[in-house]
Amino acid sequence: MSSPHLTQTNSVSEIMLKVLLALVPAIAANVWFFGPAVLVTLSLASVTALVLETVMLKLRGRPVVPFLMDGSALLTAWLLALSIPPMGPWWLIVTGTAFAIVIAKHLYGGLGSNPFNPAMVGYAVLIISFPVQMTQWLAPASIALSHIDFAAQLDYMFFHVLPQGMQLDALTSATPLDTLKTQLHLDKPISAILSLPIYGEVGGKGGEWVAGAYLAGGLYLLQQRIISWHVPAAFIAAICLTAGAFHLFDPAHHASPWLHLAAGATMIGAFFILTDPVTGPTTPKGKLIFAFGAGFLTYLIRVYGSYPDGAAFAVLLMNICVPLIDAYTQPPVFGKKK
Amino acid sequence: MKLLHRFNGGIHPPQHKTESTRLPILSAPIPEKLVIPLHQHIGTSAKPLVAAGDAVLKGQMIGKAEGYVSSSVHAPTSGKITAIGYEPAPHPSGLRDLCITLEPDGLDAWIERHPLDYLNMDPSSLRNRLRDAGVVGLGGAVFPSFIKLNPGSGKKIKTLVLNGAECEPYITCDDMLMRERADEIIAGAKIMRFMLHAEEVLIGIEDNKPEAIAAMRAALKEAPFEVIPVPTIYPGGGAKQLIRVLTGIEVPAGERSTDLGVQCFNVATALSVYRAIAHGEPVLSRIVTITGAVNKPRNYEALIGTPIDVLIRLAAPVKDSDGAIMGGPMMGFELPSTCVPLVKATNCIIVKSATLFPPAPQPMPCIRCGKCAESCPADLQPQELYWFSKAGNFGKAQEYALFDCIECGCCSYVCPSHIPLVQFYRYAKSEIWAQEREKKASDLARIRHELRVDRMEREKREKAERLAQKSAQARTQMNSEEET
Amino acid sequence: MIDAILVMSGLALFLGGVLGYASIRFHVQGNVLVEKIDAILPQTQCAQCGFPGCRPYAEAIADGRAQINQCPPGGDANIRKLADLLGVEFKPLNAKHGAPKPKSVAFIDENTCIGCTLCIQACPVDAISGAPKQMHTIIAQECTGCGLCVAPCPVDCIGMIPVPESISTWKWKQPDYLMGVA
Ligand code: SF4
Ligand code: SF4
């Protein structure tokens, strides 16, 4: 083979590993505020993903070890698991992961060829098919009406049984964004809604800390030059601008940009989901357009759509546009700039 | 302090330069046999002027430049021509090329030399001298220098750039040359400036060569010459990149820098210009770095045509050495055999070993991470080019500026999926060239076939007419005979 | 009811008119298509396709009298280009017409040649020089390698020699690897 005879040692596995590492603070925050059930969700999703990845690679006649080692299946599993309500039933997790790995990834050609973000496809399928289970979020430990221990949580996840006399409603609550939407429908003013116990300083109680942890992980990825600033910056800017405009225009019915930044999937989206290289544009300008569009759509779907959060759908919609964006944002080559 | 510009991308591979700069340049002994290829430059091959059995003197022209883009070839020492024929050439293909084999007689007897006083000569005769002296770009591109020293009528060259950047790892021949022969380089630069009427001469040297910078500064006292340390980054020594850094001008692919008022030469080329003009000495030898898996890495001044394995033996290769790269590790190629001659383009020989150059990691699918695009100094989108080249969609690859790629290899170097990107572009380019050659040949065949068809039709028509005429004549004759 | 029929037939008439106009206005000239096909054909003029040369074959393809897979020197690559141009399915080369061979040029054994000029008459591109009773030579740059001169030679002095790869025609190979396989 011809030159170069040197390559750097950096590999896909290393990149994926660093991304997984960057998720650790958010996982820790989740455990702290919502209990260790998150870890079970994560493990279950990981095992499902690895098993299915192996099966699919075998079926497609690809070498198993190097592709398993690339870590992309694990990353998909983690991102999906972190978007599913903690203490979701086991079949929910398995179905979502299976969809992500088998359909969204391998049937489209596997690593590098899938046009849609697998984790978000899994999420979208789940929320459309099982809206009830997908919106029952465990209430942060501090405000839950009652509390069950870890063993009882496992019982619920795997056998769908709760301790005697316990109601699921007592353990869960709608997400802050969901609450906001339903309460606004009841014509409650924003100020009254935001004083509900589920809200914290800027976002949801607990949730705002998780968002902060995603931010920290994202900054690490930026510092490691694994992601470029374009995507998170444009996404956050889009959310701020749209939410800010609506808020200025009609503060009684529109929450401030702060809430939109700290709640829902904004931070994980900005730093971990939209930054997926495979399903995003490659040109710097394209990245800006892509992420800005996703931010705008996220806000619209969040506020006017019928689903609690819009990030997943916004990402998938923008995924469709990627080839077009790439084709129209080719940067000028050396010597041909104006 | 001059304000420097920058180009996008670039990489910082491990340097490996100090190994070969510890010792001064050493003259390699005259080998038992010299094999001198007639095609050591860009353009048409030189035409042999000697026959087997001829005795030649050192510096005697043995191959004459043929056509405009061409350059001459000389006997590097005195001796006897033993053969003219096809010998293995230092080329990635391992194919043979027309070479002249010379058996040195050990006398090293010079042919008569004619120094020129360049200040009292017109540039055109100076250019002829350079062409006849076989002066070509010694940075590796081996383009005939006399052509680049012809600015063309009405063109104004503002800046002459001397390239002493030497950005590729392992290579140190220019570094050592600047340390040891700065005076002659500057003298050559003066001749070049005279020929181009350049306003300023900027000598770009990467800041990882403080000794060379100091030596060049010491050798040069007057304006408008200036030594400018440039940041160390690969491929900062590419002509286009260096021009960009020093002047801010970007020379687009397919355009000549002359048209933008800049011209760029390697420092070693400047030295051979000086030797050719001021001493009447053609290019007979060059400095070559022998490094890598050898015990005594250093720079040698070796005669053109010296077998490369002889040079490698001088440097004492280590036990597990295996094969060699000609050029640098980023753009050089693996020699199919080391039994090939040193040519004007050979700036470096890196002896390989499994420890120095472990086999490339296995490629994985492209994850569109864009690292390649970030590192591309030509501002291309390597991942798209790869896709099109691999699919054989060459038209699309050209649309995405395949031919603007300078084959620096940065993209392949950084790719976390270890995809042989630039290797795919080389393949695509050579396929496109082959298709163009075929197209030309088939166009020629079509024209010749059409001419032939026309000719045959004309001949048939003429024959028929002649026949008709004859029979008409015969008839009238018959008629008249009947009448009588 | 009547209205509907009127509207529909009016529409049909109008659209038919538009289509008719378009087919006249934008008619791809037969010649243009033949040119395009001819540009793809390798111009070997070997007649293996069953037509007396590349152009007649191009005309036959344009008229639908010939298949696109009858040209051995062009090989599959050319068939693919033709399929693209004409918007039809790719078909592998029809073996009846021969197999693709490496590019060759004719070579005349000058000692045996009797100067009969039969080969000169056979060469479709006038790549053989010589006069009656004099030795003939192939102009290698102009020979398309069609081999048409081989059969007519009464003394069998013409051979086809494959063109060797040289440094100037050498090509980089496509990198060959299997993803993820060590
Ligand atoms: S660096 Fe490699 S993996 Fe990344 S976009 Fe370029 S080709 Fe694809
Ligand atoms: S080899 Fe070509 S595409 Fe790759 S980085 Fe260099 S110029 Fe860009």
* Cα C45 to Cα C62: distance, rounded to the nearest angstrom: 18
At residue A78 the predicted structure's pLDDT band, cuts being 50, 70 and 90, is very high
The dihedral over CA atoms of A187, A191, A193, A198, expressed in degrees to the nearest 10, equals 170
The torsion defined by the Cα of A284, A286, A292 and A297, in degrees rounded to 10, comes to -150
Q: Is residue B35 situated within a structural domain? A: no
Q: Do residues B278 and B370 both lie within one domain?
A: no
If asked whether residues B273 and B381 sit together in one domain, one would say no
Residue B255 — pLDDT band, cuts 50, 70, 90? confident
- Strand order of the β-sheet with B285-292 is B26-27, B298-303, B285-292, B348-353, B321-326, B333-334
- For chain C, the chains sharing at least 3 beta-carbon pairs closer than 8 angstroms are A, B
C29 band by pLDDT with thresholds 50, 70 and 90: low
Residue B369 and residue B279 in one domain: no
Give the integer Cα–Cα distance in Å for C147 and C130. Answer: 18
Residues B371 and B237 in one domain: no
- Beta-strand pair B55-56/B79-88: antiparallel
Give the pLDDT of residue B74: 96
CATH number at residue B387: 1.10.1060
Q: Is residue B28 part of a domain?
A: no
> Is residue B428 domain-resident?
yes
pLDDT at B341: 95
Q: Judge whether B58 and B284 are in contact, CB under 8 Å.
A: yes
Do residue B257 and residue B373 come from a single domain? Answer: no
The neighbours of chain A, by the rule of 3 or more Cβ pairs under 8 Å, are: B, C
Band of the pLDDT at B298, cuts 50, 70, 90?
A: very high
Is pLDDT of A145 > 60?
no
Least confident segment among B48-57, B454-463, C9-18, C88-97: C9-18
Which of B233, B254, B285 is the last residue in one of the domains? Answer: B285
Question: Residue A336 has what pLDDT?
Answer: 83
Distance to chain A for C182, nearest Cα, Å: 9
How far does Cα A233 stand from its chain's mean position? Answer: 17
pLDDT over 80 at B160, yes or no: yes
Residue B278 and residue B130 share a domain: yes
Question: What is the overall mean pLDDT for chain A?
Answer: 87
Do B263 and B402 sit in the same domain of this protein?
Answer: no
**Residue at B181 is within a domain:** yes
| Cis preceding-peptide flag for B377 (omega within 30 of 0) | no
Same domain? B248 vs B128? yes
Q: How far is residue B325's CA from residue B347's CA, in Å, rounded to a whole number?
A: 11
pLDDT in tens, B308-341: 999 999 999 998 888 999 999 999 999 999 999 9
The whole-angstrom separation of Cα B466 and Cα B476 is 15
- For residue B389 the two structure tokens come to 């080249």
Q: What is the ipTM of this complex?
A: 0.88
Pocket of ligand 1 (CB under 6 A): B 366-372, 382-383, 386, 414-417, 419, 421
Least confidently predicted of A104-108, A303-307, B27-31, B268-272: A303-307
Tell whether the model's pLDDT for residue B483 goes beyond 80: no
Mention every residue, 6+ apart, whose C-beta is less than 8 A from residue B140. B327, B331, B345, B347
Q: Any idea what the CATH number is for the domain that residue B233 is in?
A: 3.40.50.11540
The answer to whether residue A30 scores a pLDDT higher than 70 is yes
Q: Judge: A277–B169 Cβ closer than 8 Å, yes or no.
A: no
Token duo for residue B213 = 């910078």
Number of domains in chain B: 2
Whether B206 maps to a domain, the answer reads: yes
In-domain check, residue B11 = no
B378 CB neighbours in chain A (<8 A) are: 333-334
DSSP B479: H
C182 pLDDT more than 60? no
The domain containing residue B121 runs over which residues?
Answer: 18-23+117-285
Question: With left for phi above 0 and alpha for psi between -120 and 50, is residue C159 left, alpha or beta?
Answer: beta
Residue B358 lies in a domain: no
The answer to whether residues B373 and B266 belong to one domain is: no
pLDDT for position A146: 63
Cα B1 to averaged position of ligand 1 atoms, centre (Å): 38
Identify which ligand lies nearest to the alpha carbon of B377: 2
pLDDT of residue A148: 72
Using the predicted structure, report yes or no on whether residue C85 has a pLDDT greater than 80.
yes
Which residue in A2, A15, A326 is closest to B426 by CB distance? A2
Number of alpha carbons in the 13 Å side-chain half-sphere of residue B159: 19
pLDDT in tens, C134-180: 778 888 888 888 888 888 989 988 989 888 888 888 989 888 777 76
CB B177 within 8 A of CB B216: no
Q: Report the gap between the CA of C170 and the closest CA in chain B (Å).
A: 7
- C residues 148-177 closer than 8 Å to A (CB): 172, 175
Give the model's pLDDT for residue A321: 94
Residues B230 and B130 in one domain: yes
Residues B125 and B238 occupy one common structural domain = yes
Which of C38, C126, C166 comes nearest B95 by C-beta?
C166
Cβ partners under 8 Å of residue A336, min gap 6: B252, B401, B404
Where among B234, B264, B285 does a domain terminate?
Answer: B285
The residues pairing with B289 across neighbouring beta strands, listed in sequence order, are B299, B348
E-only strand ranges, chain A: 137-138, 172-173
As given in the structure block, the two tokens for residue C104 are 């060759």
Yes or no, beta carbons of A66 and C180 under 8 Å apart: yes
Q: Could you tell me if B376 and B251 lie in one domain?
A: no
Residue type, B121: M
Q: Quick check: A315 pLDDT over 70?
A: yes
What Å distances lie between residue B339 and A77, A156, B41, B88, B296, CA to CA?
56, 75, 20, 8, 20
Instruction: Spell B139-161 as b/e; 16+ CB within 10 A means b.
Output: bbebbbbbbbbbbeeeeebebbb
CA-nearest residue, atom 5 of ligand 2:
B376
Domain boundary among B264, B285, B306: B285
Which amino acid appears at position C84 of this protein?
A: D
Is residue B427 in some structural domain? yes
Burial class (CB in 10 A: 0-12, 13-18, 19+), B317: buried
For A273-336, the DSSP string reads ITT-STTS--SHHHHHHHHHHHHHHHHHHHHHSSSS--HHHHHHHHHHHHHHHHHHTPPPPTT-
Could you read off the pLDDT of A163-175 as tens digits, one per residue? 776 777 766 777 7
So what's the pLDDT on residue C28? 59
* Average confidence (pLDDT) over B81-90: 94
pLDDT reported for residue A258: 87
The atom of ligand 2 lying closest to the CA of B404 is 7
Most confident of A28-32, A189-193, A205-209, C99-103: A28-32
pLDDT at A35: 81
CB within 8 A of A309, min separation 6: which ones?
A: A175, A177, A264, A265, A298, A301, A302
What was the pLDDT predicted at A52?
Answer: 95
| pLDDT tens track for A90-141 | 999 999 999 999 999 999 988 889 999 999 999 999 999 998 888 777 777 6
Averaged confidence pLDDT in chain C: 84
Query: Tokens 């820790």 label which residue?
Result: A28
CA A64 – CA A58 distance, rounded (Å) = 7
